[in-house]
Amino acid sequence: MTTLPTTPAETVADRRAEPLSARLHLWAITVDHKRLGIMYVLSGLVFFLVGGLEASAMRAQLARPGNDLVSPEVFNQLFTMHGTTMVFLVGMPVLLGMGNYLIPLMIGARDMAFPRLNAFGFWLFLFGGLLLYYSYIGAQGLYGTSAAPDVGWFAYAPLTDRTFSRGNSTDYWILGIMVSGFGSIATGANLVATILCMRCRGMTLMRMPLMAWMMLVVGVLVLTALGPLTAAQVMLLFDRNLGAHFFDPQEGGSAILWQHFFWFFGHPEVYILILPAFGFVSEIVPTFSRKVIFGYPLMVAATVGIGFISLSVWAHHMFAVGLGPVLDAFFSAMTFMIAVPTGIKIFNWIGTMWGGRIRFASPMLFATGFVAMFVIGGLTGIMLAMVPFDWQVSDSYFVVGHFHYVLFGGTIFAIFGALHYWYPKAVGRMLNETIAKWSFWLLFAGFNLTFFPMHISGLLGMPRRIYTFQPDRGLELWNLLSTAGVPLQAAGVLLIVWNLLRSHRKGAIAGNDPWDAWTLEWATTSPPPEHNFDEPPTVGSRRPLWDLKHPEDPDGRYE
């Protein structure tokens, strides 16, 4: 059975009385995983608004053929900075930040395994991001050519060579990503050590919340993927600044090798971005279906399976290169294979909802939206795993539509679901449910209006990364529709931001456990005290709070 000591309410009012400078100083020197987690999420949201503005500018430019709102040079910078920002400065920090906040609470620990390393990782991420954006001011150097990086988020050689990328913009891309990457490596190691070593009494591996399993695999993937990226970036830095020839075809170097190195990082990265989202949904869906997760052991196995297979699918990003039939067949087959554990997860979420008493509160809306949108993105992914089909649509808007269904309809929807689910825990107040529902439906409608037509314009032949297109190719309508979705999405996102700000002061008091949930983080106060739990908890099943609320029928005997 579960023992959960009660925690006295924190003296929030005392904190508010201190002067602003003293409170900010506390945030700057903190090593508390909860404060660091909140800072991760807030910085990530700021970068999300910046990346969204960049996307909006691109859609405005592409609203009609022959538009000249932005120049081709600025357009190149926009798509480079949009992609880089969303992957490295939004997706990773927000997801790792939520892991930071939640994992110690979920496994009944006082803090992460290495609190100071944790703070170090956060500040590296933040200053790496600022270094990247400083390129708008500093990258012109003495050359007066480019400003922000403009080589695409995967920075293919030999475009990144000194010959073709003058000025320092590409160096800012390398260094900004590398510095924030060191932060991610620190956090990855910290997550692995925390989950393996800091679990409370009774929290066996197979009793952990599924999100802890997902974050464990994410930690391992961060450790395997970021090393090769850092190494490849060092080589590129040597090429550009010391005259080395790693990716210089003039001297026998290989541009394809960069692609291998980048995607050896890049595809595990996709799973680094989606596995935590799977984790959020695996916590939200059971709570709002009033059922235990369907097939817990299979979910764990699928997560570990995805972790392994994700290391051997990278070259499906490179079919158009001409790798030859053997490699094409191998990477195509591996890509089909990774759809199996992913499909298992989809069916298990549906199996959890099946026959449950579903409550469509805002977290559940986002979670079900996630499942539906991710299935579409996953299915177009399977289409793209077919080599001949990929040859046809590679580097077209079909691909853009595909990965936005995965990373926006998937990851971002799950992040917003998680924000609505755990905001009451972190702040102590509920978000406004009416505003939350408006923001979901606006975002859902705007998202589909923008990204579904991209599949069609892509099939019609619209290439990625072009700043304009010709009239009379049948592309006008689809591009206009894509642009028309932007204001709806912007309204949805701004409503969420407003809701977050407004509910901080005005929201209804949440209490410890507003959703009647079952995992350990709901056992302590909202917000939790600095030490999380007055006494280390002891758990006897996967749903410690169920055991606490139903001592006559503890879960452990059914597991």
Nearer to another protein, 395 or 535 (CB): 535
Query: Does position 312 bind another protein by CB under 8 A?
Result: no
Tell me the two tokens of residue 445: 């409608």
Nearer to another protein, 197 or 333 (CB): 197
Residue 546, number of CB atoms within 10 A of its CB: 20
- Residues 250-309 binding another protein (CB under 8 A) are 251-254, 257, 261, 264
Q: What is the C-alpha to C-alpha distance for residues 266 and 88, in angstroms, rounded to an integer?
A: 11
Query: Does position 234 bind another protein by CB under 8 A?
Result: yes
By residue count, the chain amounts to 559
Nearer to another protein, 8 or 388 (CB): 8
- Residues 204-233 binding another protein (CB under 8 A) are 219-220, 223-228, 230-232
Query: Does position 551 bind another protein by CB under 8 A?
Result: yes
Query: Does position 41 bind another protein by CB under 8 A?
Result: no
Nearer to another protein, 308 or 391 (CB): 308
Query: Does position 82 bind another protein by CB under 8 A?
Result: no
End-to-end CA distance of the chain: 13
Query: Does position 113 bind another protein by CB under 8 A?
Result: yes
DSSP line for 64-131: STT--SS-HHHHHHHHHHHHHIIIIIIIHHHHHHHHHHHHHHHTT-SS-S-HHHHHHHHHHHHHHHHH
Query: Does position 236 bind another protein by CB under 8 A?
Result: no
Query: Does position 107 bind another protein by CB under 8 A?
Result: no
What's the closest the beta carbon of residue 460 comes to another protein, in angstroms? 39
Q: What is the C-alpha to C-alpha distance for residues 87 and 411, in angstroms, rounded to an integer?
A: 11
Query: Does position 198 bind another protein by CB under 8 A?
Result: yes
Residue 396 forms beta bridges with which residues? 463
Most distant pair of Cα atoms in the chain: their distance: 75
Nearer to another protein, 124 or 148 (CB): 124
# binding residues, another protein (CB under 8 A): 59
- Residues 404-463 binding another protein (CB under 8 A) are none
Query: Does position 193 bind another protein by CB under 8 A?
Result: yes
CA dihedral 546, 547, 549, 552 (to 10 degrees): 130
DSSP line for 117-151: HHHHHHHHHHHHHHHHHHHHHHTTTTTT---S--S
| Residue window 525-544: x/- pattern of binding to another protein, with contact defined by CB under 8 A | ----------xx-x-xx---
Return the ∠ at Cα 373 (arms to 369 and 376), rounded to 5°.
155
Q: What is the C-alpha to C-alpha distance for residues 112 and 179, in angstroms, rounded to an integer?
A: 22
- Residues 391-410 binding another protein (CB under 8 A) are none
Residue 97, classed as helix, strand or coil, is helix
Judged by the rule CB under 8 A, the positions of this chain that interact with another protein are 1-5, 113-114, 117, 185, 188-190, 192-194, 196-199, 201-202, 219-220, 223-228, 230-232, 234-235, 238-239, 242-246, 251-254, 257, 261, 264, 535-536, 538, 540-541, 548, 551, 554-557
